[in-house]
Homo-oligomer: A and B are copies of this chain.
Amino acid sequence: MALIVMKFGGSSVGDAERMKRVARRVIERHREGHQCVVVVSAMGDTTDDLIDLTKQIGAVTPPAREMDMLLSTGEQVSVALLAMTIHTLGEKAVSFTGWQAGIHTEAVHGKARISDIQPGRVRQALDDRNIVIVAGFQGMTEAGEITTLGRGGSDTTAVALAAAIEADVCEIFTDVDGVYSTDPRIVKCARKLNEISYDEMLELANLGAAVLHPRAVEYAKNYKVQLVVRSSFNHNEGTNVKEEAVMEQGIVVRGIAYDKNVARISILGVEEKPGQLAKVFTALAQEQIDVDIIVQSGVTNVSADFSFTVSLSDLDRVLQTLENIRSTVGFREITSENNLVKVSIVGAGMVSTPGVAAKMFETISDLGISILMVSTSEIKTSCVIENEGRLNEVVQALHTAYGLDTDSTVFVGGPADRR
């Protein structure tokens, strides 16, 4: 008998039929003799519908606290309905909100981090032979305020809860069969990975693979939670995410990720004096803007140019922030580009295998495409290129170059659910 946490996203419980399918899946596990804790997100479009209500009342920047009060109802509806569905199908189930499940977070609204889980009620309900349903994406501060965890929050709830109750495994159900070597919507012969290491998964997640949220992977890595990503539509084996993953013979790259949400900003003619870079990036950090790749160039003894990338969605705020500090830093010009993509290869064995990055540059060059920026770590190499509608071609070429193509093509559902 195992203790299992199962997480289902909003699209998996999007309507009554899907809700019943999830219920049957959980009951199947329960009847095999396992103890089951189920984490669910809000049903389908619920969150969008709630946000729409705020627009109807004319709230342009509603207080984050009230937004959390509002949005957290979405998961509460899901858990109650799933508990009822399971009950209707003949098993005992009890639902909990985040606060009832003992999920405590920092006092931040809209993107709180879990600080602590006190799973007493969850454990008690399991001991009473219940299937336990917990609302994902939400928690409570020490002061009793309802918080939400931000994007990917339900994945994080599931993993953190699995750690807190020392579950044997945390299964993340999604609309694809597992983690793929690359986006199967782009590369038809992408391969489903049987295993992947936490570190590789973390890079892939950070680099744009939507199947798991980086924060959830980080949590799983820190607490050594055994993760499985699998389909809610079939019983195929899925992908195990674990400490050390076995690499197939002759393969050094595990996966290829891409990110279209990239903008590059260049600051030209920055006066050459100590602390200039620090001023710029401190100002951006204060605005909660994450900077990705930074490249310095055109250095003379009086001035320098440098470029960096940010999320495309942050571009306007970056430009505004830079204008605000123009007088204190001193530079000639700011330019920006928004028609870019970042392509990355990820593999734990890269660091000990020479020539892996070189093959990437060569493959991209052979397509006649210029590489604008490069960034590397022990287990990944990223290239920023212009997005001239040739992204799919680049990803396919890299997939082939690193020997990742399989013979079979894969079925692909809708976009993965990230709440």
Contacts and interface: CB of A to CB of B under 8 A. Distances in A.
A72 to B, nearest CB: 8
A83 B62 CA distance: 9
B76 A63 contact: no
A69 B80 contact: yes
Contacts of A79: 69
B58 A16 contact: yes
Contact of A76 (B56, B69, B100): B69
Contact of A70 (B58, B60, B63, B81): B81
A77 interface: yes
A240 interface: no
A83 B53 CA distance: 13
Q: Give the interface residue-count category, chain A.
A: 35 or more
Question: From DSSP, what is the main secondary structure of chain A's interface residues?
Answer: helix
A145 to B, nearest CB: 8
A66 B50 CA distance: 21
A146 B85 CA distance: 19
A57 B84 contact: yes
Contacts of A72: 76
Given A54-B84, A56-B16, A59-B87, A95 B66 contact: yes
Contacts of A81: 53-54, 57, 66, 70
A73 interface: yes
A234 interface: no
Given A66-B87, A95-B69, A77 B60 contact: no
Contacts of A69: 76, 79-80, 83, 95, 97
Interface string A144-162: 1010000000000000000
Given A53-B77, A69-B95, A83 B58 contact: no
Contacts of A59: 84-85, 87-88
A116 to B, nearest CB: 17
A203 to B, nearest CB: 38
A10 to B, nearest CB: 15
A121 interface: yes
A418 interface: no
A70 B78 CA distance: 8
A100 B144 contact: yes
Interface of A: 15-16, 19-20, 50, 53-54, 56-60, 62-63, 65-67, 69-70, 72-73, 76-77, 79-81, 83-85, 87-88, 94-95, 97, 100, 121, 144, 146
Pairs of residues from A and B, 9 with the lowest C-beta to C-beta distance, nearest first: A70-B80, A69-B80, A16-B56, A73-B73, A62-B84, A59-B84, A66-B83, A57-B85, A66-B80
